[in-house]
A and B are shown apart, each in its own frame.
Chain A
């Protein structure tokens, strides 16, 4: 007789988990955006807020582990934001717009925080989803 018991999947439907994650979901989102948007005044910023946003993917996966997210599209979006992170400073800093107009400085920092936050959130989220729904060695995704 085998003594190996079948392991309980962590994606099993638990009503406590479902209810609590459902309750917390919007607050995680709000916290993530507040960390991003207040990044230039208070602790936090793009990377930290992006990490909080990425935990939304995790929360969703824990409650509802079904592969219905198009990670290819999310990855493409993430690359778009990565390109913007390079292009926006190039456009605004090197042309001297931020240096000339002091009132733009805060808006520029917020814009960069948003770009970095979304990029990090999508990047970490896609990484987690791909790892969680890994289908084997033979099948790789186009990078």
Chain B
């Protein structure tokens, strides 16, 4: 009875792992599946396997998947239009899209195997800096493109280091701000 129930639950969670829309949720379902299978090993009188399955299946593997998911997060680069412009024109979008600065930033993220998406925002620079949805804010002024990041962003530090080490074609500047100063 317990055996059949456990097997049915395992089947249910196996389907849930595949069907769930959130990868994070899938990982948790997989951990539950693993725990149920370790319970099944106890019923089948294999306690050694049960211990190994519980520790590795629902402990270590879950953490590895979560760490892998964290790597796969999407970085959002916000491009702030110049304050002199009232709205985003096609001409401006093309100009930014073809700029070397943005290309190099994208190359960096692709090289690090991060996913990157670029959004053009009509907010002012201060508003964009305050928005937690943006990881990196790029703005253009008279001297060219500049990125604005807070001090704690270590990915951007890597970007800066890469530009220093390998050289850069774009005159991209890095401007650091402390989040408190903006708020």
CA distance in complex: A48, B48 (Å)? 7
Number of interface residues of A (CB under 8 A): 29
Decide if the interface of chain B is mainly helix, strand, loop or mixed: helix
CA distance in complex: A35, B133 (Å)? 47
A96 in contact (CB, < 8 A):
no
B134 in contact (CB, < 8 A):
yes
Return the contact of B71 from the options A6, A55, A61, A134 (Cβ within 8 A): A134
A20 in contact (CB, < 8 A):
no
B52 in contact (CB, < 8 A):
yes
Q: Are B63 and A61 in contact (CB under 8 A)?
A: yes
Given contacts A6-B133, A54-B60, A124-B60, contact A132 B67 (CB under 8 A): yes
**Residue of A whose beta carbon sits closest to that of B68:** A131
Which residues of chain B have a CB within 8 Å of any CB of chain A?
Answer: 47-48, 50-52, 55-56, 59-60, 63-64, 66-68, 70-71, 73-74, 76, 78, 111-113, 117, 119, 121, 132-135
Which residues of chain A have a CB within 8 Å of any CB of chain B?
Answer: 1-7, 9-10, 35, 43-45, 47-48, 51-52, 54-55, 58, 61-62, 124, 128, 131-132, 134, 136-137
Q: List 10 A-B contacts (CB under 8 A).
A: A2-B117, A2-B121, A2-B133, A4-B133, A35-B51, A43-B47, A45-B48, A48-B52, A124-B56, A134-B71
